[in-house]
Chain A
Amino acid sequence: MRIACPFCGPRGSEEYTYLGDATVRRPEGDAPSEAWFAYVYLRDNPAGRHRELWYHGAGCRSWLVVERDMRSHDILSVAPARDMALARGRAA
């Protein structure tokens, strides 16, 4: 499997480390325990498109959000995690 790093270009998966689901959002500190339980433990397992966090540790050391088809391993999009966090309104 090859992932096209937006900074380095296409690289083999051996250059990356997989973290996990990029769609979960950390609840506010005073959120109910159910929200924290879901954030820490509950994950969807879609047969199809999914967004994941990958770290380009052997390259530019950037965190990336990779949209991948779980059935075919086709990579549909790759974007810097930082840009996505900023687009969601998180402070720089």
Chain B
Amino acid sequence: MSDTALAARSPLAGLLRPGRQGARGDLPGVVVQERTGLQIVSLAARKGQEVPLMAAVRAAWGIDLPTTPRRVGDARLAFVWSGPSQWLAVATDWPGDLEAALRAHLGGLGSLTDQGDGRVVLRVRGPHARDALAKGMAIDLHPRAFQPGDVAATLAAHIGVQIWQLDEAPTYEMAAFRSTAGSLCDWIVAASAEYGVEIVEPG
């Protein structure tokens, strides 16, 4: 038997090439970036354990788990609502194993599953990000209806996504299943072309 070394490979390797596409202009209307350095773990409260689970998260990280479609936390560790009593923990450059850290504090109160290898996360920002996303999304992204911190589980170009808004640039992040990464990227780049789209190095 030979030794086999498996290397982690982005689902977008070779698909999302850095550079400018679409309309020319001084500034791109949309900037697209694949997020890297993330750990993603799903969390679901065990039956009847919502209240103690929320107390345990608050005690460990000072975060109030959102009970409506919101994202609470910061770039280091955030909890993204994904359904009643369900969340995604999303951490950037977390030192160590995020699932183990969550399990150490929450074991028994919630069910934890590492989702990091199964998802792709795209950051989409710029003055025309909203216009580009609106071409394939039925939810209202206008600031009166969707603001920084807001989350939606919905469809984008018929692909299931979880989207959250980070700031008023606006900057959005979209998480989707890994196998849909190519289609999702093709769509967002095509939808952004008329505004000028800059694809930046993953980060």
Residues of A within 8 A of B (CB): 7-9, 11-12, 14-15, 58-62, 80, 92
Contacts and interface: CB of A to CB of B under 8 A. Distances in A.
B82 A60 contact: yes
Contact of B152 (A8, A62, A92): A8
Contact of A62 (B47, B68, B84, B154): B84
Given A7-B69, A11-B139, A59 B154 contact: yes
29 contacts: A7-B69, A8-B152, A8-B153, A8-B154, A9-B69, A9-B139, A11-B139, A11-B154, A14-B138, A14-B155, A15-B154, A15-B155, A58-B153, A58-B155, A59-B83, A59-B152, A59-B153, A59-B154, A60-B69, A60-B82, A60-B83, A60-B84, A60-B86, A61-B153, A62-B83, A62-B84, A80-B84, A92-B47, A92-B48
Contacts of A80: 84
Interface in B134-156: 138-139, 152-155
B165 to A, nearest CB: 15
Interface string B28-56: 00000000000000000001100000000
A61 B83 contact: yes
Contacts of B69: 7-9, 60
B70 to A, nearest CB: 12
Contacts of B138: 11-12, 14
Contacts of A8: 69, 152-154
A91 B56 CA distance: 26
B68 to A, nearest CB: 8
B113 to A, nearest CB: 14
B160 interface: yes
A90 to B, nearest CB: 13
Residue of B82, B86, B154, B160 ringed by the most chain A CB atoms within 10 A = B154
Contacts of B139: 9, 11
Given A11-B154, A61-B83, A62-B83, 17 more contacts: A7-B69, A7-B84, A8-B154, A9-B139, A11-B138, A12-B138, A14-B138, A14-B155, A15-B154, A58-B155, A58-B160, A60-B69, A60-B82, A60-B83, A60-B84, A62-B84, A92-B48
B47 to A, nearest CB: 7
Nearest to A80: B84
Contacts of B83: 7, 59-62
Contacts of B155: 14-15, 58
Residue of B86, B139, B153 ringed by the most chain A CB atoms within 10 A = B153
Contacts of B153: 8, 58-61
A12 to B, nearest CB: 5
